[in-house]
Amino acid sequence: MRALRLAIAIFSMSLRRNLAYRTNLLFDGLSNIITNASGLAVLGVIYEVTDTLGGWKRSEAVVLFGTWLIVGGVLWTWIEPNLGWFQNQVVDGRLDDVLLQPVPSILLVSLGTCAPLGLVQVLTGLAVVIVGASALDPAPAALDVLAWCVMLAAAVIFTWASRVALASLTFRAPSFQPEVLYMAVWQLGRYPVTIYRQPIRLALTYVLPMVLISTLPAQALTRGIDAGEAAFAASACLGMVVVANLAWQAGLRRYTSATS
Q: What is the pLDDT of residues 126-141, one digit of tens each?
A: 999 999 999 998 889 9
Domain ranges within the chain, ordered by starting residue: 2-17+24-254
The pLDDT of residue 125 is above 70? yes
pTM for this entry: 0.90
Full DSSP string of the chain = -HHHHHHHHHHHHHHHHHHTTHHHHHHHHHHHHHHHHHHHHHHHHHHHH-S-BTTB-HHHHHHHHHHHHHHHHHIIIIIHHHHTTHHHHHHHTTTHHHHTSSS-HHHHHHHSS--GGGHHHHHHHHHHHHHHHHT-SSPPPHHHHHHHHHHHHHHHHHHHHHHHHHHGGGGT-TT--HHHHHHHHHGGGGS-GGGSPTTHHHIIIIIS-GGGTTHHHHHHHHT---HHHHHHHHHHHHHHHHHHHHHHHHHHHH---TT-
The pLDDT of residue 145 is above 90? yes
More confident residue, 11 or 72: 72
Over range 3-18, report the average pLDDT.
73
